[in-house]
Amino acid sequence: MHKYTFFSGKGGVGKTTLAAATAVRTAAAGKRTLIVSTDPASNLADVFERPIGNRVTEIAPNLFALEIDPDSATKEYGERALAPLRAVLPPDAMKVLEEQFRSACTVEIASFDRFTDFLEDTAFDHVVFDTAPTGHTLRLLELPVDWSRHIEEAAQGNGQTCIGPVASLQGAKAKYDRAIAALRDPGETEFTLVCRPERTSVDELLRAREELRTLGIGNFRIVVNGVIPGGAGGPFANQSSSQREQVRRLSAKLDRPCIEVPLQGGEVKGLSALGRFAAIVFDGKTDTLQGGFTGARPYTGFSPPYALRKMVTGATGSRTVVLTGKGGVGKTVAACALAARLAREGSRVLLATTDPAAHIGSVLSVEVSSQVRPVPGYPGLFAVRIDQKESVEAYKAKILSRASASGHTGEMLAVLREELESPCTEEMAVFEEFSGLVERDDFDAVILDTAPTGHTLRLLELPYDYARQVEMMVAVRKDDAGATGAKGKLDALVRRLKDPRSTTFLLVIYPEYTPIFEAKRAAEDLKESGIEVQGVIANFLLDEEDCSSPFSMSRYFMQQHYLMVAEETFRLPIFKVPMLPSEPAGKDALDRVGRELLGGQMANMISVMGMMMGRKGGGCCG
């Protein structure tokens, strides 16, 4: 049996549930098993129905779990790296180093350094990694290679990295080299790539497989999760046909059969349900887990489309609309539908994605590049995706150009060029691109389709992190015009994000436990930064009239229960999007979703006038 098993795939495909079921099964077989979540928005605790946190926690006999917490990892990493230097360096030098370790990019290396610890752990027979959605997992797996190379190059150059001297990192390089070897060893490590039987999910899995191969990783197992069972009926009938087509397309590109896992009638949570689910996945059991919400009353508290229209159309000036939520909840489709609808009604709209997986092109059925360009067939709509590699090259060129214009030459530019080769540069470059999009004022609306929750929260924290760093620079170097200018720019960005008159934050969910409570945690984190969420989009909703089988009714009742939970949890307007008969893509599907969300301009005017007349006349009984 492999020592390490990784679960990776598009957000919302069921990685955590499958990883947890695998860990439960391995532990039950007598193997001392650890499951580690590397996702900043981990929901491992939700699946096991108990607190976990950033310390190894016993869940059951032979079963242990841990969620890597970026903040705790950063603090521990900094102290571990700096402790040996305190006895040999003067206080002034230590102060400079401590400032370096408070930088925003330290979070990334600290989290991945903690991850590599578990590739060396001998206390467990088996380690299961539940990873973040694909794009961020690929970034995590690239880091051992990137940092090992950067430390080696820095050692041959000026001996400095962006987080301190090479001398303090040589031990880390040896650890990262061992991590690379473990990841590439098919006898030690297996990658389970998970997808839904949907076009964008299958495409992302195939891209991930190729990118992992370029890293020297080649031992894969493929799982297709959420296959609609026969006889599901109702709204699932058309989807089932589309799913079979996607499974055939995937199978044709594989050199071994994939595992097909049926969609369950209810949620998979708790040790007992995970054990039964493991038997379904690995033993081919035909058991189906049902929801326990039979008889839940239909939810009737949805807000009307004109309320959402008011949120996303600014009275004056340009408005930024940010959609965030768990992977797989339908953020991309909602963002594309909002953007397309507003553009159709005459607004000039920019649709942008900060997600490394970048699915807006697939949903629009057009090619989307890293340059802002009009979308063919959608007058008034422009689109762009942040390309991480292009962003890095542009960022490096800009920094070096500024340094050269400021009079730096020769050795100073060589040192700066070396430091810009740090893997940390990617995060800073993406942040620059993001801030540039938020600041665009040549559009009536900028709609941002973001990465899954944890990575979006990290991106939204960056203006605050960098603002604090720039503030320190201004305090230390009062005559530095560049630092002062950067501070003013960051202050303006922070003000814009906090101002509900210019920026609207919307949570996207589907009515189940995990998406709701991940969104709740996101809303709480945003509030700590001074950002208020204005509304919730509930996606994939079933209509009772369409549910003709026990399976579809079970899922319908589960949805009604969790819609009430969402209302009690958020106390915000909830807007509905029904489950469509096929995967939404192209103008017709987006137009339907756009009408569901925003209604038509005339219908909205009539609704508003009706409400005003009702209030004026005191209602029907006047």
For residue 35, CA distances in Å to 44, 55, 401, 521 come to 9, 12, 46, 22
Per the model's pLDDT, the better-predicted residue between 360 and 156 turns out to be 360
Distance CA 83, CA 81 (A): 6
**Side-chain-side CA neighbours of residue 501 (13 Å):** 4
Q: Shortest CA distance to 536 belongs to which of 560, 558, 561, 515?
A: 515
Over residues 376-404, the pLDDT tens digits come to: 999 999 999 887 778 778 878 887 887 78
Query: pLDDT-derived band of residue 30, with 50, 70 and 90 as boundaries?
Result: very high
Domain ranges of the chain: 4-283, 318-386+442-617
Which amino acid makes up residue 332? T
With H, G, I as helix, E, B as strand and everything else as coil, classify residue 513.
Answer: helix
Q: Is the dihedral of CA 358, 363, 364, 366 positive or negative?
A: positive
3-state secondary structure 5-20: EEEEECCCCCHHHHHH
Backbone dihedral region of 604: left (phi > 0), alpha (psi from -120 to 50 degrees) or beta? alpha
State phi, psi for 112 to the nearest 5 degrees. Answer: -75, -30
Per-residue tokens: 558: 């589960």
Distance CA 142, CA 149 (A): 11
Q: Do residues 13 and 226 lie in contact, with contact meaning Cβ atoms separated by under 8 Å? A: yes
Q: Who contacts 531 (Cβ-Cβ below 8 Å, separation ≥6)?
A: 460, 497, 498, 503, 505
Q: Do residues 538 and 510 lie in contact, with contact meaning Cβ atoms separated by under 8 Å? A: yes
Q: Shortest CA distance to 115 belongs to which of 58, 178, 193, 57?
A: 178
pLDDT of residue 328: 84
pLDDT of residue 353: 85
pLDDT of residue 597: 96
Over residues 227-258, the pLDDT tens digits come to: 998 888 777 888 888 899 999 999 999 888 89
User: Is 242 exposed, middle or buried (CB count within 10 Å of its CB: 0-12, 13-18, 19+)?
Assistant: middle
Longest CA–CA separation in the chain, Å: 85
Assess whether pLDDT exceeds 90 at residue 441.
no
Per-residue tokens: 24: 């439960």
Over residues 84-132, the pLDDT tens digits come to: 777 777 887 777 667 666 655 566 677 777 777 888 777 899 999 988 6
Return the number of other C-beta atoms located less than 10 Å from residue 84's C-beta: 12
Which amino acid makes up residue 165? P
Q: Shortest CA distance to 486 belongs to which of 442, 444, 428, 539?
A: 428
Assess whether pLDDT exceeds 70 at residue 174.
yes
Which amino acid makes up residue 585? A
pLDDT of residue 315: 62
Q: Do residues 388 and 424 lie in contact, with contact meaning Cβ atoms separated by under 8 Å? A: no
Q: What is the pTM of this model?
A: 0.78
Assess whether pLDDT exceeds 90 at residue 561.
yes
Over residues 182-230, the pLDDT tens digits come to: 888 999 999 999 999 998 899 889 988 988 888 888 889 999 999 998 8
Q: Which helix (H) or strand (E) holds 462?
A: helix 453-476
Query: pLDDT-derived band of residue 475, with 50, 70 and 90 as boundaries?
Result: very low
pLDDT of residue 172: 64
State phi, psi for 323 to the nearest 5 degrees. Answer: -105, 130
**Average pLDDT value for the chain:** 80
pLDDT of residue 439: 81
Fold match between 4-283 and 318-386+442-617? yes
Q: Do residues 68 and 115 lie in contact, with contact meaning Cβ atoms separated by under 8 Å? A: yes
Assess whether pLDDT exceeds 50 at residue 483.
no
Mean of pLDDT values over 588-607: 79
Query: pLDDT-derived band of residue 327, with 50, 70 and 90 as boundaries?
Result: confident
Distance CA 519, CA 536 (A): 9
Q: How many helices (H) and strands (E) does the chain have?
A: 22, 18
With H, G, I as helix, E, B as strand and everything else as coil, classify residue 195.
Answer: strand
Q: Is the dihedral of CA 120, 452, 499, 392 positive or negative?
A: positive
Q: What's the CATH architecture for 4-283? A: 3-Layer(aba) Sandwich (3.40)
State phi, psi for 153 to the nearest 5 degrees. Answer: -65, -40
User: Is 255 exposed, middle or buried (CB count within 10 Å of its CB: 0-12, 13-18, 19+)?
Assistant: exposed
* 318-386+442-617 carries CATH number 3.30.70.20: no
Q: What percent of the chain has pLDDT over 70?
A: 78
pLDDT of residue 149: 59
